[in-house]
């Protein structure tokens, strides 16, 4: 069993509340990083938007496919 199939098997056991809590915990981790490393706030907004778009392309494509 490779990593991808193992992760797919584990993800199928999660309901929507688990997925929402995972997203909120990732957001909280991002806030924690900014609190611990304030220099992250000095990153140009265009870089953040570009990274966000790049990371969102595949999920949006698969959602509307």
Reported as type and span, the H/E element at residue 49 is helix 45-64
pLDDT at 52: 92
Domain enclosing residue 28, as ranges: 3-64
- Per-residue confidence of the chain (65 residues) as pLDDT tens digits? 799 998 888 888 889 899 999 999 999 999 999 999 999 889 998 999 999 999 999 999 988 98
Q: How many domains does the structure of the chain reveal? A: 1
Q: How far apart are CA 18 and CA 30, in angstroms?
A: 19
Query: pTM of the predicted model, to two decimals?
Result: 0.68
pLDDT at 10: 87
Q: Return the half-sphere exposure (C-beta side, CA atoms, 13 A cut-off) of residue 51.
A: 6
Q: How far apart are CA 50 and CA 24, in angstroms?
A: 22
3-state secondary structure of 25: helix
């Amino acid at each position: 069993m490779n990593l991808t199939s193992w992760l797919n098997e584990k993800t199928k056991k999660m309901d929507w509340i688990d997925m929402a809590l995972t997203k909120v915990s990732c957001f909280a981790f991002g806030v924690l990083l900014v609190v611990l490393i304030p220099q992250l706030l000095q990153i140009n907004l265009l870089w953040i938007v570009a990274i966000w778009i790049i990371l969102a392309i595949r999920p949006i494509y698969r959602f509307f496919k």
